[in-house]
Structure 1
Amino acid sequence: MKEPRWLDSSQQRHWRAFVEGSVRLHDLMDRDLKAKHGLSESEYEILVRLSEAPEMRLRMAELAESASQSRSRLSHTCSRLESKGLVRRATCPGDKRGVYAHLTDEGYSALQRAAVDHVEVARDFFIDVIDPADLEAIGRAFTAVTRRIGEVR
C-alpha cells in the first residue's frame, strides 16, 4: 500500500482557508440570491449558461456539464425554473430523445435583475478584497484545477 502524501503545515493552512472561504462565499451568495430574487445559486448559474448560449438554449446534457450538475439534479432544478416561468424545455427537432432547455424572456429579465446584485456580492466579498496579482494567480490556479479534473473524467 502506498504511503499517503500528507500536506505540510503551510499546505494544510492554505487548503483549509480555501475550503472554508469557498463554502462561506457560496453560502453567502446563495442566501443573497434567494432573499433578493428567489433563486438559488445553482438556478442562477443555469440562467447564466442559457443566456450565453446561441439562441439562449442548450441541450440538457450540455447544460448539465457546463453548470457542473448531474443530469438528475439539473432536471429537478429546471423543473423549479419551469414552474417559475424562467425556463422551458422542448424536444430537439432532429432528435426526439434530446431535450433543449430554453431561457424565456421572463427568465432573461429575472437574470438581468439578479446579476446586478450578484456581481456586487462577488465584488464585495471576493474581487475587491483580493490583490489583483493574487486574483490572476487564483484564475490561473483554478484553470489548472478544472483542466486536471477534465483529464480524469
Structure 2
Amino acid sequence: MSTTDAVAASDAQLSQGWHTLYTLHGRIEARLDHELQSKHGLSLREYCLLSTLRPQHSGEGGHLRMAQVAEAVVLSQSATTRLVTRLEDRGLLTRYLCATDRRGIYTDVTPAGLALLAEAEPTHFAVLREAMTDAAAQPELEPLVRAVAGLHAEPAASRS
C-alpha cells in the first residue's frame, strides 16, 4: 500500500470515527434536551451553564470570566451572553463586576438557580444513563460508551 493510500485510509477511518462520535453525541444531546425541557423548563445548554457555574467560590480564582464560561459551555461569547441574560431574566443567575478588574464580569447562580439545578440533576443523570445503556447495545457505539465511562475513572493502582 502506498503512502498516499495509507493516508487516505487513515483519513477515512478518522472521518468514520468522528461520525460515530457525532452520532452518539447528537442522540444523547437530543434526549437530554427534550427531557430537561419537558420536565424542568430548562434547555440542556441552560443546565450545562448552571452546572458549570455552580462550583464557583469566593476568593482568588473562584469565578469564571465570561470568556471562560463561553469556552466551558462551547458557545461563542455572544451566544453565552444571550444565554446568561435569559437565565438572569428568569432569576436563575446574577451578574456583577469583578472587584479587582472593572472590565471583568462574573456570573453567580442564584438560590433559585441552585434549586432548579438540584431538581433537574436526577433527570439529567437518569436520561444520560439510559441513553448510554441504549448506545452500548449498538456494536458501533459500544466502544465509545466504554471510553466515555472510563474518562474520569480512578486508576486501578490508586484504588488500593
Give the TM-score normalised by structure 1.
0.76
1:61 equivalent in structure 2: 67
Unaligned runs of 5+ in 2: 152-160
What are the superposed Cα offsets for residues 48-78 of structure 1, whole Å, 9 maximum, x if unpaired? 0111222484321221122222111100000
% identity of equivalent residues: 29
Q: What does 1:38-77 correspond to in 2, within 5 Å?
A: 38-55=41-58, 57-77=63-83
Question: Secondary structure at 1:54's aligned position in 2?
Answer: coil
Q: Which moved more, 1:88-97 or 1:132-141?
A: 132-141
Q: Does 1:138 align with 2:144?
A: no
| Larger relative contact order (Cα-Cα within 8 Å, sequence gap ≥ 6) | 2
Matched, 1:125 2:125: no
- Pick the aligned partner of 1:101 from 89, 94, 107: 107
- Count of residues in correspondence between the two structures: 140
Q: Which runs of 4+ in 1 moved over 4 A?
A: 7-14, 131-136
| Larger Rg belongs to | 2
> Structure 2: how far apart are the matches of 1:12 and 1:95?
44
Uncovered stretches (5+) of structure 1, i.e. residues with no partner: 142-153
User: Which deviates more, 38-47 or 59-68?
Assistant: 59-68
CA distance in structure 1 between the partners assigned to 2:123 and 2:53 by the alignment: 19
Q: Which has the higher strand share?
A: 1
Would the aligned equivalents of 1:59 and 1:99 in 2 still touch at CA under 8 Å? yes
| Contact preservation (8 Å) 1:58, 1:102 | no
